[in-house]
Amino acid sequence: MRLSRYFLPVLKENPAEAQIVSHRLMLRAGMIKQATAGIYSWLPLGYKVLRRIEQIVHEEQQRAGHIPLLMPTLQSADLWRESGRYDDYGEEMLRITDRHGRDMLYGPTNEELITDIFRSHVGSYKDLPLTLYHIQWKFRDEIRPRFGVMRGREFLMKDGYNFDLTKEDALHAYNRHLVSYLRTYERMGLQAIPMRADSGPIGGDDTHEFLVLAETGESEVFYDSEITDLKFGDREIDYDSHDACRAVLEEFTSRYARTDETHDEDEFAKVPEGRRRTARGIEVGQIFYFGTKYSEPMGATVTDDAGNKVPVHMGSHGIGVSRLLGAIIEASHDDKGIIWPEGVTPFHCGIVNLKQGDAEADAACEALYAALKALGLDPLYDDRKERAGAKFATMDLIGLPWRITVGPRGLKNGVVELTSRRSGESEELPPEAAVERIAAVYAGVL
């Protein structure tokens, strides 16, 4: 993309309404614009990151064997009356009446809708196990929407639902989700720690939340510091293996790590004092096993191999896709702006032309731009007639991990400058070598 033809409405001033750094930087970098309280338009740069995050979520869900579909945002109240949650859900549910006087709602989650799909089409244990998921907008009429996309009223969520014949199989689905989530967050450059949590209105006993440690997080968390040394890394897990998935769950949940809802002082006291930590965290996902809570009242049954009709065991599993943008920025920024991890960056690198209009500099930038694109990379070329300082400030603000700076002086010696946004270190090298270096970095990421 050429910046002169892009739409990147960066703000020079700090917006007064933003209380935390991710909200401030998303507004300043021209990623989002508030449409009304807790509801945002995703401007091109923000939309690009949102799509990259979605893509990673899709890839990791499908790697785990989960099947994508798409359910609507608007739902009929009737299904929620069947499960008993229409009255229970309270004021967070946006209720709408259509022209015929029928009660509708904007879905805050989809257990009822998916259970209805299941009971209409699945009747035999032979069709199990089954996990369906979608990435769709949700609406919760939060009493205090704040912190930009972190606590919106409309937000994008991946929600997945497993259907299994037995509790044991459903617990495997739970463990499988835990594994796939660890992998998903690490691909985004995040450490998200699974913590024992409370199930809230979804219901059920088994549940873990995934928390990214950050001072601005809304949850208070208590953990054994050893847990932060655990990395999932690039291990290949057989998602069909109950033992392999259980082993990962045990590894990542054997140390004390809880949110304030389930925190237990006596248990915490058993952690050696030097390793006890109290901090704040951002919830970026949650997994639940809730058994037959929805399948029983809604009649989602299958025939087992003895010919009996039994309600299926279910769980639901959510990732806060739009909240993740805020969480990643909270975890990765400096005083100049955002620092995108390579896995989610909106553009793979920036090209800064120090002397737009200089025939040699222009030609060198064009050649770099073409070479990067030919390799399947997505560069952002700042081809505007602006001062070098302003170009650097924009690149630093929007946080592309790599920048190639091209100027007449370097070109006389046959070199351009390659700069890492994270370390701030620069290196002079021939343009072809810079392209190779960037290609090599992303070869392990794309």
User: What residue 343 binds from ligand ATP, Mg ion, none (CB within 5 to 8 A, per partner kind)?
Assistant: none
Nearer Cβ to ligand ATP (285/346): 285
**Taking the CA of residue 403 as centre, how many other CA atoms within 13 Å lie in the half-sphere pointing to its CB?**
27
Around Cβ 364, how many Cβ atoms within 10 Å?
A: 22
152 binds, among ligand ATP, Mg ion, none (CB under 5 to 8 A by kind): ligand ATP
394 binds Mg ion (CB under 5 A): no
In contact, 314 and 202? CB cutoff 8 Å: no
Is 193 an interacting residue with respect to ligand ATP (CB under 6 A)? no
Minimum distance of Mg ion from residue 188's CB (angstroms): 18
Stretch near ligand ATP under the rule CB under 6 A, chosen from 43-51, 69-77, 315-323, 350-358: 315-323
Residues 217-256 that bind ligand ATP (CB under 6 A): none
If contact means CB under 5 to 8 A according to the sort of partner, which of ligand ATP, Mg ion, none does residue 353 touch?
A: none
Of residues 155, 185, 232, 369, which one binds ligand ATP by CB under 6 A? 155
Q: Is 323 in the site for ligand ATP (CB under 6 A)?
A: yes
Residue among 46, 107, 148, 152 that touches ligand ATP (CB under 6 A): 152
The whole-angstrom separation of Cα 66 and Cα 187 is 18
Residue 140 engages ligand ATP in binding (rule: CB under 6 A): yes
Is the CB of residue 294 less than 8 Å from the CB of residue 300?
A: yes
The window from 51-59, 282-290, 363-371, 378-386 that contacts Mg ion (CB under 5 A) reads: 282-290
Positions in 285-324 near Mg ion (CB under 5 A): 286
Report residue 58 CA to chain centroid gap. Answer: 11
Encoded tokens for 183: 């992998």
Q: What angle do CA 116, 118, 119 make, to 5 degrees?
A: 70
Q: How far is the CB of 271 from ligand ATP (least distance, A)?
A: 25
Helical pair 359-374 and 431-443, crossing angle rounded to 10 deg: 30
DSSP-derived secondary structure for 265-308: HHHHHTS-GGGEEEEEEEEEEEEEEEETTTHHHHT-EEE-TTS-
Backbone angles phi, psi at 190, to 5 degrees: -115, 145
- CA 381/CA 389 separation, integer angstroms: 15
- Residue span 265-294 as binding mask against ligand ATP, x where in contact by CB under 6 A, dash where not: ------------------xxxx--------
Cβ proximity to ligand ATP: between 325 and 400 the closer is 325
109 versus 405: smaller Cβ distance to ligand ATP:
109
Q: Which two tokens stand for residue 38?
A: 């807790």
| Amino acid (one-letter) located at 445 | V
Instruction: Give, as one character, the DSSP assignment of residue 218.
Output: S
Binding residues among 183-202 for Mg ion as defined by CB under 5 A: none
192 counts as binding ligand ATP under rule CB under 6 A: no
Of all residues in the shown chain, the one whose CB is closest to ligand ATP is 320
Instruction: Choose among 148, 149, 152: nearest CA to 140.
Output: 152
Complex with ligand ATP: residue 149 or 170, whichever CB lies closer: 149
The residue from 119, 151, 176, 333 that contacts ligand ATP (CB under 6 A) is: 151
Q: Total residues at the site for ligand ATP (CB under 6 A)? A: 16
- C-beta of 152 vs 431, nearer to ligand ATP: 152
Cis ω for the linkage preceding 129 (within 30 of 0): yes
In the complex, the smallest distance separating the C-beta of residue 424 from Mg ion, rounded to whole angstroms, is 37
- Tokens at 211, concatenated: 């928390």
Q: What is the DSSP letter of 6?
A: S
Number of residues that bind Mg ion (CB under 5 A): 1
Shortest CB 197 distance to ligand ATP, Å: 8
| CA distances to 202, 321, 425 from 259, in Å | 17, 21, 38
CB–CB of 192/210 below 8 Å?
yes
Please, what is the minimum distance in Å from the beta carbon of residue 285 to Mg ion? 8
Chain residues binding ligand ATP by CB under 6 A are: 109, 140, 142, 151-152, 155, 157, 200, 283-286, 318, 320, 322-323
